[in-house]
Chain A
């Protein structure tokens, strides 16, 4: 991914009204964009052009986006960001379970879409966890985090809702248990979604997260402050298959 080789996107949507201006906008942002109006056309273009990423509408006549998405994941295709008109939480989960890398609800802010495209590509380039690994649960001291549904449950099985920022922060900690993570590193790992979520200091997010998972947020047992700036997750973390749980 260097400057001379622009990122190629394949935009799959049956609505020319949206497809055309969006392609134009993304081109303006420095991407190389090709368009497809159906899943069938998209399949042949993927084979010919090998795009870096797919922007895929879910509701299309003929084969729908979810089906194409599943096909791509099974065949080690490029990363997928789903575009959908429905904002239901379950739709997002279905999409992510299908193996999509991200999910954007129409109407979206074009800038946010660009941020997400870059984030997905960065994660893919870093050898981010494959989808297979993605759906394994994290466990620490009786707590369970379902990374797909972003669902955190306490040792009593009670769901503890967390915001997107808190989820990403917790994920960063759980991926690096017992390691000292300084603020820059945390910001780096957590950022990538909507940048504005992280305009606030990491410290603020940490204190919010502590309020939710620590028994006494003034005397934390999980997320410890390290002198010299940084945090360390102090519990053992294991990963388990979701099967059998729930």
Chain B
């Protein structure tokens, strides 16, 4: 189940996998550079703030306590004899205020980085400062802002009191505190979103660039894969494929072509050799078969003829086993019930006790000559060891199943697998005289597998052996 899900999610092609690795890689890279960029921005931002506020503090002190800005719009509290002025239209400035004590109050946050930055700057400028305090507070908490509605209006949004402001103060040599205020601009936001967007753009550009390159690799590979599959299915003759793509792929294709040529030549040699063996053995057998016709003793002659037939059958099994997978007849959609009936009828005509049970019209692509051979072997086997055979054709799930049941003693469970290996025979003391080299089951299994199916042997509950040829259909 997990595998199926994984197969669905994870692309299986080279292109897909490269892209799959590329996407998170890019995202991580982008995220790192984004963080660095954000950090640099923040630093610059702070630097600007420090500069701005330092200028104000210095300016305020130079003009001294006596600096007069515009008079306050409202009556001021005695303590607040500060000089202040409202700044430009878009940004409010609260100029200077002189206090007798540090402006720090409850709820403030010390901005230590800014404090050290400011200290450095003031020192560079040669301004003496006894003590430096930089605080962050909400505009609503600031007593000065709270008193001046016009200052509040500068925030231009409804909830002005939640906006942060920065309050910086230095203690002069006379012990008075020089105080300056500035609104804190919002920190740059939307960084995450822009990183995702950038990543997407880079990913698309990379994909567009990589796609043709990867196609150059994957296309010849796909062609090679197809060819290997075709060759595995029917290694009839070598069909060299065009060498293209990058050098590595070209060499792979060249190597494959060479291998295919070699395999095809070997298989051809094998066929020629088998043909020669068949011919060289069958001709003397044929001569022998003709010669025994002159044997006068009828019983002797019949036995001789039977021996020759056994040798011939064994020889055919050996030759066929060597040829499985090189079927010379094409796959044809065939009525399995009719095919099975035709084989059973051959046995009936010879007077063998084979019964055709229930059949069902099932169509499957088969090499008819080969499947007949497999059925013939299984039925012969059933007759040899089980006296009677019953053949049925049925559908089981996606499989078409041909069942051959006999009434024999069956096979001990631990020997079933071994029975399908070449030259294995059931208990040799029984039926020794009936011939057969024990290739019948091996060949039947090879033929079933050649069709993408299998041969299953099992003991029936009622007694006797059941052989099943299961074919996909």
A31 at interface by CB-CB < 8 Å: no
B278 interface residue per 8 A CB criterion: yes
A90–B326 CA distance with the chains assembled, in angstroms: 13
Q: Which residue of A lies closest to B292 (CB)?
A: A110
A199 to B278, CA, bound (A): 32
A66 to B338, CA, bound (A): 32
Q: Which of B326-344 contact A (CB under 8 A)?
A: 328-329, 332-335, 338-339, 341-342
Whether the pair A17, B334 counts as a contact (CB closer than 8 A) is no
Interface string of B300-344 (1 = CB under 8 A from A): 000001001000100010000000000011001111001101100
Q: How far is the CB of B97 from chain A (nearest CB, A)?
A: 100
How many Å from the CB of B33 to the closest CB on chain A?
65
A89 adjacent to B369 (CB under 8 Å): yes
Rounded to whole angstroms, the CA-CA distance of A61 and B334 in the bound complex is: 38
B328 and A208: CB pair below 8 A?
Answer: no
Contact of B345 among A15, A109, A158, A208 (CB under 8 A): A208
Q: Are B368 and A161 in contact (CB under 8 A)?
A: yes
> With A17-B284, A161-B372 in contact, do A110 and B290 touch (Cβ < 8 Å)?
yes
Question: In the assembled complex, how far is the CB of residue B289 from the closest CB belonging to chain A, in whole angstroms?
Answer: 4
Q: Is the CB of A107 within 8 A of B285?
A: yes
Report the separation of the CA atoms of residues A2 and B345 in the bound assembly, to the nearest whole angstrom.
37
**A123 on interface, CB distance cutoff 8 Å:** no
Interface check B291, CB cutoff 8 A: yes
Known contacts A86-B278, A163-B342; A200/B283 CB under 8 A: no
Looking at the complex, which one of B284, B342, B348 makes contact with A161 (CB distance below 8 Å)? B342
Residue of A nearest to B328 (CB): A90
| CB of B305, distance to nearest CB on chain A (Å) | 7
Check A25 against B290 for contact (C-beta < 8 Å).
yes
B339 touches A161 (CB 8 A): yes
Return A174 CB to nearest CB of chain B, in Å. Answer: 18
Q: Is B147 an interface residue (CB 8 A)?
A: no
Judged by a CB distance under 8 angstroms, whether B43 is at the interface is no
Q: Is A226 in the interface zone, CB < 8 Å from B?
A: no
B279 part of interface (Cβ distance < 8 Å):
yes
Select one of A15, A83, A107, A157 contacting B289, CB under 8 A.
Answer: A107
Is A107 in contact with B279, judged by CB distance below 8 angstroms? no
Nearest A residue to B361 via CB reads A158
Choose among A15, A18, A211 the residue with the greatest number of B CB atoms under 10 Å from its CB: A18
A91–B363 alpha-carbon span in the complex (Å):
26
Within the assembled complex, what's the spacing in Å between the Cα atoms of A196 and B305?
A: 17
How far apart are the CA atoms of A184 and B38 in the complex, in Å?
Answer: 104
A28 to chain B, nearest CB (A): 8
Query: Is A212 located at the chain interface by the 8 A CB criterion?
Result: yes
| Chain B nearest Cβ from A24, distance in angstroms | 8
Within 137-159 of A, Cβ neighbours of B (below 8 Å) are at: 154, 156-159
Q: A21-B290, A85-B279, A88-B328 are in contact. Are A159 and B342 (CB under 8 A)?
A: no
Max chain A Cβ within 10 angstroms of own Cβ: one of B291, B333, B345, B363: B345
Q: Is the CB of A161 within 8 A of B289?
A: no
CB distance from B296 to the nearest CB of A (A): 13
- One digit per residue, 1 when the CB lies within 8 angstroms of any chain B CB and 0 when it does not, for chain A 17-40 equals 110011001000000000000000
The A/B interface has a contact count, at CB < 8 Å, of 101
| Cross-chain contact B291 with A21 (CB below 8 angstroms) | yes
- Say whether B286 contacts A107, CB under 8 Å: yes
Closest A residue to B288 by beta carbon equals A107
Q: How far apart sit A88 and B339, CA to CA, in the bound complex (Å)?
A: 18
Contact A197 B349 (CB under 8 A): yes
The residue on B at minimum CB distance from A88 is B328
Bound: A88/B363 CA distance, A: 24
Residues of B within 8 A of A111 (CB): 293
- B288 CB to nearest A CB, Å: 7
Known A21-B291, A107-B312; judge A165-B349 contact (CB<8 A): yes
Residues from chain B with Cβ under 8 Å of A22 in the complex: 286-287, 290
Q: What separation, in Å, do the CA atoms of A141 and B346 have in the docked complex?
A: 28
Which residues from chain A contact B250 at a C-beta distance below 8 Å? none
> Smallest Cβ distance from B356 to chain A, in angstroms?
9
**Contact A21 to B333, CB < 8 A, known contacts A107-B282, A162-B338, A212-B341:** no
- Our pick among B290, B335, B339, B342 for the contact of A18 (Cβ within 8 Å) is B290
Q: How far is the CA of A169 from the CA of B194 in the complex (A)?
A: 83
**Smallest CB–CB gap between B348 and chain A, Å?**
8
State in angstroms the CA–CA spacing of A110 and B348 once bound together.
Answer: 23
Q: Which of B282, B294, B329 contacts A85 (CB 8 A)?
A: B282
Q: Is B192 an interface residue (CB 8 A)?
A: no
Sample of 17 more A-B contacts, CB < 8 Å, known A18-B284, A200-B348: A18-B290, A22-B290, A25-B290, A25-B293, A86-B278, A89-B329, A90-B328, A108-B286, A110-B293, A156-B363, A157-B333, A159-B333, A161-B335, A161-B342, A165-B345, A199-B349, A208-B345
Show 12 A/B contacts (Cβ-Cβ < 8 Å), sorted by A. Answer: A18-B286, A59-B275, A108-B286, A156-B363, A159-B335, A160-B335, A161-B342, A162-B342, A163-B349, A166-B342, A166-B345, A197-B349
Chain B residues in the interface with A (C-beta under 8 A): 275, 278-279, 282-291, 293-294, 305, 308, 312, 316, 328-329, 332-335, 338-339, 341-342, 345-346, 348-349, 363, 368-369, 372
Interface residues of A (CB under 8 A from B): 15, 17-18, 21-22, 25, 59, 83, 85-90, 106-111, 154, 156-163, 165-166, 196-197, 199-200, 208, 211-212
List the 8 shortest-distance A-B pairs measured between CB atoms, nearest first.
A107-B286, A106-B286, A85-B282, A85-B279, A107-B289, A161-B339, A18-B287, A107-B285
